[in-house]
């Protein structure tokens, strides 16, 4: 079945900051009726699955303002304008965890909230080859945790790890993670 497409008539930026842009599009349906569509647009994001030589994965622990609680997640962040996805992943990994990665693999990508945010998240797996000091932004306070893949699975099962980007990235990386676990 072929779904009917909407025709974009106009696009207006309502608000813009360095991380997101809030937009309003005017569209026309196939029956001629018009409507408004509101959404956020971002340059995209990266999620990194950094694997240490002993098989543990580096995770972040940080306070999330919108949820008013601490969140455990894979290192992740927005792509700064002008950066390629792999370069953004390298920057985020070093910034949030102090880890330096090698043997980078692009696992895949996903759209975290296709109905209301025009945004693509790119998932990378890498080997951690060096540990340095974190290079946090002024607004960040992040602790680094190290967990085995099976411990991460248990954290997900008990809802201790609930970040949507991390859950999607972990699902995409399944076959690679099973290799790390020896399965």
What are the structural domains of the chain? 7-41 (no CATH), 45-180 (3.90.79.10)
Comparing 26-30, 114-118, 141-145, 174-178, the range with the smallest average pLDDT is 174-178
Predicted TM-score (pTM) of this structure: 0.92
Residue 64 has what pLDDT? 93
Q: How confident is the model at residue 13 (pLDDT cuts 50, 70, 90)?
A: very high
Q: How confident is the model at residue 181 (pLDDT cuts 50, 70, 90)?
A: low
Residues 6+ apart with CB under 8 A from 142: 60, 61, 62, 96, 97, 134, 136
Question: Has residue 139 got a pLDDT over 90?
Answer: no
Cα–Cα distance between 70 and 7 in angstroms, integer?
A: 42
Residue 138 has what pLDDT? 86
Question: Has residue 1 got a pLDDT over 80?
Answer: no
The secondary structure element, H or E, covering residue 179 is helix 174-180
**Token code pair at residue 42:** 């971002």
In percent, the amount of the chain with pLDDT more than 90 equals 85
Q: How confident is the model at residue 4 (pLDDT cuts 50, 70, 90)?
A: confident
- Contacts by residues 144-148 (CB-CB < 8 Å, ≥ 24 positions apart): 144/58, 144/59, 144/60, 144/61, 144/96, 144/97, 144/98, 145/58, 145/59, 145/60, 145/61, 145/72, 146/52, 146/56, 146/57, 146/58, 146/59, 147/56, 147/57, 147/59, 148/55, 148/56, 148/57, 148/181
Q: How confident is the model at residue 140 (pLDDT cuts 50, 70, 90)?
A: confident
Question: Has residue 22 got a pLDDT over 70?
Answer: yes
Are residues 99 and 135 in contact, defined by beta-carbon separation less than 8 angstroms?
no
Question: Has residue 183 got a pLDDT over 60?
Answer: no
Average pLDDT of the residues of the chain = 94
Read off the DSSP letter of residue 64: E
Question: Has residue 177 got a pLDDT over 70?
Answer: yes
CB-neighbour burial class of residue 157 (10 A; exposed 0-12, middle 13-18, buried 19+) = exposed
């Amino acid at each position: 079945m072929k779904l009917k497409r909407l025709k974009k008539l106009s696009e207006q930026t309502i608000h813009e900051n360095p991380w997101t842009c809030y937009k309003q599009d005017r569209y026309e349906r196939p029956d001629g009726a018009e409507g408004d569509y509101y959404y956020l647009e971002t340059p995209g994001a990266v999620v990194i699955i950094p694997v240490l030589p002993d098989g543990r994965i580096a995770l972040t622990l940080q306070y999330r303002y919108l949820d008013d609680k601490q969140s455990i997640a894979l290192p992740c962040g927005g792509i700064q304008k002008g950066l390629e996805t792999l370069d953004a992943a390298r920057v985020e990994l070093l910034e949030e965890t102090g880890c330096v990665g090698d043997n980078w693999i692009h696992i895949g990508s996903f759209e975290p909230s296709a109905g209301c945010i025009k945004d693509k998240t790119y998932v990378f797996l890498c080997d951690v080859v060096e540990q340095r000091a974190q290079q946090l932004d002024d607004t960040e306070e992040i602790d680094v945790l190290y967990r085995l893949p099976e411990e991460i699975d248990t954290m997900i099962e008990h809802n201790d790890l609930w970040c949507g980007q991390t859950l999607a990235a972990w699902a995409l990386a399944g076959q690679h993670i099973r290799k790390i676990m020896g399965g």
